Chain A
Amino acid sequence: MFVDFFYMLKKVGIPVSPTSFLRLHAALKMGLINSIDDLYVGARTILVKSERYFDLYDQVFAHRFHGIEFKDPDEFELSEVARALLEEWLKDPQGLAHALGVNEEELLKLTPDELIQYFLERLKEQTEAHHGGNRWIGTRGTSPVGHSGYHPGGMRVGGASGNKSAVKVALERRYRDYSQEGPLTESQMGEALKRLRNMVPVGPKDKVNIDKTVYATMKNGGEIEIVFDRSMRDRLKVVLAIDNGGWSMDPYIDLVQTLFNYARAQFKDLKTFFFHNTIYDYLWEDPPRRYKPYPVDQLIHLDPETRFVIVGDASMAPYELMARDGSIYVEERSGRPSIERLKFVAATFRHAIWINPRLADEWPHTPTINYIREIFPMFELTLDGLEKAVSHMMLKH
């Protein structure tokens, strides 16, 4: 049952496993799911394993169960599931056997073809067992729990299911904020900060710790064991260059600045510059990019070990990057194309990276992103991207 639902979930990218699908069936069989509301909650708790997919789930659920009649799965769908089960079986025989409630050894004796046949039969059995009438959901369960069944051991919940149908609840899309599809959001700040905390310098282990050496040697029964400590390193210097021109960057400017400011305590020095679209002869220390210019040539005076972090969407007209007078601001036209300046920055700071709030799968479609990626390693402004960016910056080249 609900085979199409299962595949819809899979198709939109929610990692659902056949084993958990069987568990949902077990729950149906036990009469735990007696209404569409129960199905909404039950299928979610069993199938979906992260809140980031809850929003997708809501959409699929609403789409699938919005005033639609339930119909029987056909032979083809069933064999699709059976095949998926076989794959799952190969990965985790024990788990699947457990979910089916059969002995693993028995299944081990069967050939793959026999297995498929066996799964098919089981699926049909479950399908038939479940529709008295044209309803998909078992209606006469003697559930030990839940509020229509009664059982002394179950938890009871009060309240009739209220005024909202599951589909309506799903349509509300309460979990939109949790979906991690998009770039970093305010609510992920704490988590993002944890990633940045990894930006601490690591010196080589080359200092002898005498106290520990004596202790370890005594513990070793006199066999000499030398204990080394890491030598202290100065904390990192960080330069943050943010593209704050144009509305496309607006949602991220505050976010990135807050992020790095919170992490500031662990840096020796944090400088923030601003630019629009790409870097020409000047970076700006003030957000309106008007009063405090900082010549790019001056960057050479900074410590080359500085971590140079550029945040921008790297999306612009190609001539802005390539042409000698590419800047959209007349006073910035100095005769050197921006791409040369970017190469200069990359050559000056060996730990320079580019963080892009646009997601990686969009990158290939924008030519300027491709050019810039050849100069700087580029990372997404997501939790995962940030993690990768930090570990890249901490690499010893």
Chain B
Amino acid sequence: MGQLNDLRKFTGASKYVLDEELAKIVNISMALELPLLVKGEPGTGKTMLAHAIAEALGMRLIVLNVKSSMKLVDALYQYDTLTRLNDSRFGDSKRDVSKIEDYIRMGKIGQAFVSEERVVLLIDEIDKADTDFQDDMLDVLDQMEFDIIEIDKTIKAKKRPVVIITSNAKKDLSDPFLGRCNFHHIAFPEPEMMKRIVQVHFPDIDRELMESAVRTFYRLREIKGVEKKPSTRELVNWIRALRADPEFRVRDLIKGEVPYLGVLFKKSPDYAVAQASVARFKV
């Protein structure tokens, strides 16, 4: 029972519903000091996981949002030549122009390494970057050190960060990359789990509304021929919309009406398909 209370505290505080399996995986990865690669459909809470870990363990969270144009060195450090040039001309700063080190700024990975405390490093959407970036980054995370070429200095991680990597792609990452990570795939939540997630977002939600909204939502997800199925995020927004509408009655949902369909299906061909199917809901 005590454990159950802990769980409530945890989920309540962080707006994240952690399933037991995932918690085990996080714990194993932390103990083995391996990065954890998390894959899954959009809206299954991959990014939120890192936030939840940071919150639960009271660690600072550093987020590296990977962009397609990104080079690895950007994530490690930047050498700010422009400021140095400016300083050398006008000399009105406290920095020492002859000391290059003053002009080195840490990138996100660099920050995680120099931090005095253990941090959670979230590398979000790694699949956006090219394979070279991915492999080189894993090298750095493996060694827990990198070199700053300009000043010939090696930065070593003071405290090994907890590394969480997320990926959207259904295509696999490269083998060497996978070889150095633990892996988990977050499946789309079951209706029961989804109800708990909804409850975390709307603690005071009416039971009947929640039941029918979740039921309708899963029914909508079954519509065939849709490019992007509605995910958790859409469901939460949709419930928010329903609750904000004074005209809305739960009975409408039960009768098979689906107001604000556009919140759930955002692409116009999807919307058209969904609308046609919803018309058939009413019996």
Give A contacts to B, CB under 8 Å.
Answer: 15, 17, 19-20, 23, 26-27, 30, 32-33, 37-38, 41-42, 45-46, 48-52, 54, 92, 95, 98, 143-147, 153-162, 174-175, 178, 186, 188-191, 193, 254, 258, 261-262, 383
**Residues 148 to 178 of chain B near chain A (Cβ within 8 Å):** 169-172, 175, 178
Q: Which of B61-69, B182-190, B209-217, B244-252 contacts A (4 or more CB under 8 A)?
A: B182-190
Q: List 19 A-B contacts (CB under 8 A).
A: A15-B175, A20-B179, A23-B32, A23-B34, A27-B28, A27-B31, A30-B32, A32-B28, A45-B28, A50-B172, A92-B179, A95-B179, A145-B28, A154-B30, A156-B3, A156-B6, A188-B170, A261-B269, A383-B170
Which chain B residues (3-46) contact chain A, with CB distance < 8 Å? 3-8, 10, 18, 20-21, 23-32, 34, 36-37, 39
In the assembled complex, the CB of A72 is this many whole angstroms from the nearest CB of chain B, namely 25
Please name the residue on chain A nearest to B179 by beta carbon.
A17
Give the interface of B toward A (CB within 8 A): 3-8, 10, 18, 20-21, 23-32, 34, 36-37, 39, 53, 56-57, 142, 169-172, 175, 178-185, 187, 224-228, 269
A51: which B residues are within 8 A, CB to CB? 39, 185
- Knowing A20-B179, A41-B24 touch, does A190 contact B228 (C-beta < 8 A)? yes
Q: Closest CB of chain A to B90's CB: distance in Å?
A: 26
Residue numbers in B under 8 Å from A191 (CB-CB): 169-171
Q: How far is the CB of B276 from chain A (nearest CB, A)?
A: 13
Q: Name the B residues within 8 Å of A30 (CB-CB).
A: 31-32
For residue A261, which residues in chain B have a CB less than 8 angstroms away from its CB? 269
B28 lies within 8 A of A162 (CB): no
State which of A42, A174, A175, A383 has its C-beta within 8 Å of the C-beta of B28: A42
In the complex, the answer to whether B182 meets A50 with C-beta atoms within 8 Å is no
List of A residues within 8 angstroms of B183 by Cβ: 45, 48-50
In the bound complex, do residue B27 and residue A146 qualify as a contact, i.e. CB atoms below 8 Å apart? yes
Is A155 a contact of B31 with CB atoms below 8 Å? no
Distance, CA A42 to CA B7, complexed state (A): 21
**B182 in contact with A46 (CB, 8 Å):** yes
Query: CA of A148 to CA of B225 in the docked complex: distance in angstroms?
Result: 46
Roughly how many angstroms separate A159 CA and B175 CA in the complex, as a whole number? 36
Contact at A155–B53, with CB atoms within 8 Å? yes
Told that A23-B34, A51-B185, A155-B27 touch, could you supply 19 new A-B pairs with CB distance under 8 A? A23-B32, A26-B32, A32-B31, A32-B32, A33-B28, A41-B25, A41-B28, A45-B25, A45-B28, A48-B183, A49-B178, A95-B142, A154-B27, A155-B23, A158-B3, A158-B8, A175-B185, A188-B170, A191-B170
The reply to whether A175 and B187 form a contact with Cβ atoms under 8 Å apart is yes
4 closest A-B pairs by CB? A158-B7, A51-B185, A145-B27, A157-B23
Contacts A157-B18, A158-B5, A262-B269 given; indicate if A144 touches B171 (C-beta within 8 A): no
- Which residues from A are CB-within-8-Å of B10? 156, 158
CA distance A158 to B183 in the complex (A): 22
With a CB–CB cut-off of 8 A, which chain A residues contact B23?
155, 157
Q: Provide the residues of chain A in CB contact with B25, threshold 8 Å.
A: 41-42, 45
Is the Cβ of A49 less than 8 Å from the Cβ of B32? no
Q: How far is the CA of A20 from the CA of B56 in the complex (A)?
A: 28
Contacts of B225 in A (CB 8 A): 254, 258
Question: Would you give the shortest CB distance from B196 to chain A, in whole angstroms?
Answer: 12
B contact residues around A50 at 8 Å (CB): 172, 178, 183, 185
When distances are taken between beta carbons in the complex, the residues of chain B under 8 Å from A17 are 179
Given contacts A27-B31, A160-B3, A258-B225, contact A49 B181 (CB under 8 A): yes
- CB-CB under 8 A from B185, the residues of chain A are 50-51, 54, 175, 178
Contact A159 B34, CB 8 Å, known A15-B175, A50-B178: no
Q: Please, which residue of chain B has its CB at the minimum distance from the CB of A259? A: B227
Q: Which residue of B lies closest to A180 (CB)?
A: B170
The residues of B that contact A254 with a CB separation of less than 8 Å are 224-225
Cα separation A262 to B227 with both chains bound (whole Å): 8
Given A27-B31, A49-B172, A191-B170, A159–B20 Cβ distance below 8 Å?
yes
Residue in contact with B6 in the complex, picked from A19, A20, A48, A158, CB distance below 8 Å: A158
User: Which residue in chain A gives the minimum CB-CB distance to B36?
Assistant: A45
The residue on A at minimum CB distance from B34 is A23
Complex Cα spacing A30 to B6, Å:
25
